[in-house]
């Protein structure tokens, strides 16, 4: 019987396994796919360069992840090119120098309006965190619609629009019916909205040289093939008071004293459990819907946008792909332009052909960067919602009210069965950093159980 069986070899699972293995405990990591990394994955291209299909950006405050990167002796790199950010807004293209943090695509009045709105939100979030009596006294007011709050507190259309963009980039699109309370919880648990507003100083700051996949591959290599078992799809967990039996799809069973499940919440509860999980857990997981993003790349013979002084970073208020970044690999002479199909666009285009999605991406970037963008050499994509062992991305979205009522409860152990992963973290929920923190914290709890 192993000390701990870990379900899933994503970042959370591998970090948890390393933590326990370092303390001399016997672990096995059971991974359904034929690769490690989960939502972290590299695709190597024909010229030997790579694109990152999943999580790649390291933002401010990603300290736990940075520690691991340092420990593995890996390097980080910044955005590849300086140059203007292109913003397409209300049919007009504006070029914003990347050093300029004042978001000048807005008029000075709109910038001031946005700044005040963010400041108000930040103050409310601080108060919510620090003042329980205030929170109770204002419960009804905090229940107001978040969109309503934005319209009331930001007076200009430009500031409201930019606010929604920054909010969506940080937490995903603002869900219909989300309350102010939900929004304030997001502000307290996610990246700093004010920092994200700076065009070159926000979430998208650094990445690992060679790709985030190097982190998961190095962690797995340390653990070894005997510990990290690929192609091991878990279908059932029977857990008692002192141990558990893990059932794999091929009929094999594994006995463990403790179990850490790092599957995204909906997939985790969809496994067969004996005894059955409490009903509330399935109900909550049902409300933690995975987001829907298709991450896509256009590969060009060179990063032509740099010739025009553009950084490759763009945002638009229309089109199938509304944000782009230059993610050209250091080793490549080609140009890699990355973009996202998001939400409803991802939903509808997911049902169409890859050729059609490529066309839609090209159309969007031609409008942004001109005719040079019309003839890419190749198109690469990953539609995460179609992946059986992920089910959507970037992370899962908590429906209005769910995080505040039951969110943190989701991370509570059921006897020897523990839960970890990006969606279980109270800080950086849904991000690489959240996965690392959660993996580490839950492993520490398991180590205490086993002591
Ligand atoms: C397109 C995209 C872009 C992103 N960009 C960023 C970014 O730039 N910065 C950032 O911080 N975050 C980003 N994220 C989010 C980040 O990648 C995730 O939060 C993080 O990788 C989640 O790690 P995890 O270990 O919690 O979960 P996962 O990586 O999902 O790991 C779960 C593992 O469980 C395995 N599994 C599933 N079912 C079974 C089963 N039945 N049996 C056995 N194994 C199973 C899966 O194969 C997987 O390996 C992005 C995500 C995506 C998809």
- Known binding residue 159? Answer is no
Q: What is the largest CA-CA distance in the chain?
A: 66
> Is the CB–ligand 1 distance for residue 38 below 6 Å?
yes
Provide the token pair at 276: 């059955």
pLDDT digits (tens, 9 = 90+) for 285-335: 887 777 788 999 999 999 999 998 888 888 777 889 988 889 998 778 899
Could you give the residue range(s) of every CATH 3.90.660.10 domain in the chain? 42-82+204-209+292-386
Provide the token pair at 439: 């993996």
pLDDT digits (tens, 9 = 90+) for 105-117: 566 567 667 777 8
Sequence-ordered alpha helix ranges (H) in 262-338:
265-270, 279-286, 304-307
C-alpha 101/C-alpha 103 separation (Å) is 6
Residues of the chain with pLDDT under 70: 80-81, 87-90, 92, 94, 96-109, 111-112, 169-170, 190-205, 395-405
pLDDT at 102: 44
- Secondary structure class of 175 (helix, strand, coil): coil
For residue 162, the CA-to-ligand 1 centroid distance in Å is 28
11-22 helix and 432-450 helix, angle to the nearest 10 degrees: 30
> Is the CB–ligand 1 distance for residue 170 below 6 Å?
no
Whole-model pTM: value is 0.81
Is 103-197 CATH 3.40.1130? no
Q: What are phi and psi of 187, to 5 degrees?
A: -60, -35
Q: Is the separation of the CB atoms in 112 and 365 below 8 Å?
A: no
Ligand 1 pocket mutation pick from 60, 394, 434 by most atoms within 8 angstroms of CB? 394
- Known binding residue 234? Answer is yes
42-82+204-209+292-386, CATH topology level: Polyamine Oxidase; Chain A, domain 2 (3.90.660)
| High-pLDDT (> 70) share of the chain, % | 87
Ligand 1 pocket mutation pick from 16, 19, 39, 397 by most atoms within 8 angstroms of CB? 39
For residue 267, the CA-to-ligand 1 centroid distance in Å is 12
For residue 384, the CA-to-ligand 1 centroid distance in Å is 10
pLDDT at 287: 77
Question: Which protein residue has the closest C-alpha to ligand 1 atom 19?
Answer: 431
pLDDT at 158: 78
Could you give the residue range(s) of every CATH 1.10.405 domain in the chain? 103-197
Q: Which residues make Cβ contacts (< 8 Å) with residue 331, sequence separation at least 6?
A: 48, 49
Q: Enumerate the β-bridge partners of residue 95.
A: 86
108-130 helix and 146-153 helix, angle to the nearest 10 degrees: 130
> Is the CB–ligand 1 distance for residue 304 below 6 Å?
no
> Is the CB–ligand 1 distance for residue 394 below 6 Å?
yes
For residue 37, the CA-to-ligand 1 centroid distance in Å is 7
pLDDT at 201: 37
**E strands along 115-240, which residues?**
207-208, 228-229, 234-239
Could you give the residue range(s) of every CATH 3.50.50.60 domain in the chain? 2-38+212-289+398-450
The 8-class DSSP code of residue 250 comes to T
For the domain spanning 2-38+212-289+398-450, the CATH number is 3.50.50.60
C-alpha 98/C-alpha 79 separation (Å) is 11
> Is the CB–ligand 1 distance for residue 30 below 6 Å?
yes
Q: Which of 77, 313, 107, 336 is nearest to 200 (CA)?
A: 313
């Amino acid at each position: 019987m192993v000390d701990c069986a870990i379900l899933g070899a994503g970042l959370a699972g591998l970090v948890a396994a390393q933590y326990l293995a370092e303390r001399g405990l016997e672990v096995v990591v059971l991974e359904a796919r034929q690769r490690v990394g989960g939502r972290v994955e590299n695709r190597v291209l024909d010229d030997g360069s790579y694109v990152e299909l999943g999580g790649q950006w390291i933002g401010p405050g990603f300290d736990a992840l940075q520690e691991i990167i340092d420990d593995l002796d890996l390097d980080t790199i910044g955005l590849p090119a300086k140059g203007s950010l292109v913003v397409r807004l209300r049919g007009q293209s504006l070029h914003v120098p990347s050093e300029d943090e004042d978001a000048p695509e807005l008029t000075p009045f709109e910038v001031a309006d946005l700044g005040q709105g963010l400041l108000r939100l930040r103050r409310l979030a601080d108060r919510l965190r620090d003042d329980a009596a205030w929170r109770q006294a204002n419960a009804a007011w905090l229940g107001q619609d978040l969109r309503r709050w934005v319209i009331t507190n930001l007076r200009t259309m430009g500031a409201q629009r930019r606010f929604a963009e920054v909010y969506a980039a940080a937490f995903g699109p603002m869900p219909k019916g989300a309350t102010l309370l939900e929004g304030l919880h997001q502000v307290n648990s996610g990246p700093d909205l004010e920092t994200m507003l700076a065009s070159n100083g926000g979430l998208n700051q650094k990445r690992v040289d060679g790709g985030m996949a190097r982190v998961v591959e190095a962690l797995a290599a340390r653990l070894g093939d005997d510990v990290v078992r690929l192609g091991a799809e878990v279908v059932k967990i029977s857990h008692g008071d002192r141990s558990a039996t893990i059932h794999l799809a091929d009929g094999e069973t594994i006995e463990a004293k403790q179990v850490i499940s790092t599957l995204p919440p909906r997939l985790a509860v969809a496994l067969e459990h004996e005894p059955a999980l409490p009903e509330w857990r399935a109900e909550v997981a049902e409300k933690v819907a995975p987001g829907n993003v298709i991450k896509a790349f256009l590969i060009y013979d060179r990063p032509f946008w740099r010739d025009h002084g553009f950084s490759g970073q763009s945002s638009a208020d229309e089109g199938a792909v509304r944000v782009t970044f230059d993610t050209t690999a250091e080793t490549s002479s080609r140009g890699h332009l990355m973009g996202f199909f998001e939400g409803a666009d991802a939903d509808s285009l997911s049902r169409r052909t890859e050729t059609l999605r490529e066309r839609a991406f090209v159309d969007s970037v031609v409008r942004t960067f001109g005719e040079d963008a019309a003839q890419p050499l190749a198109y690469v994509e990953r539609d995460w919602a179609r992946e059986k062992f992920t089910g959507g991305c970037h992370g899962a979205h908590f429906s209005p009210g769910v995080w505040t009522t039951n969110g943190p409860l989701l991370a509570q152990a059921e006897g020897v069965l523990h839960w970890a992963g990006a969606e279980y973290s109270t800080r950086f929920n849904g991000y690489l950093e959240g996965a690392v923190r959660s993996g580490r914290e839950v492993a520490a709890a398991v180590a205490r159980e086993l002591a």
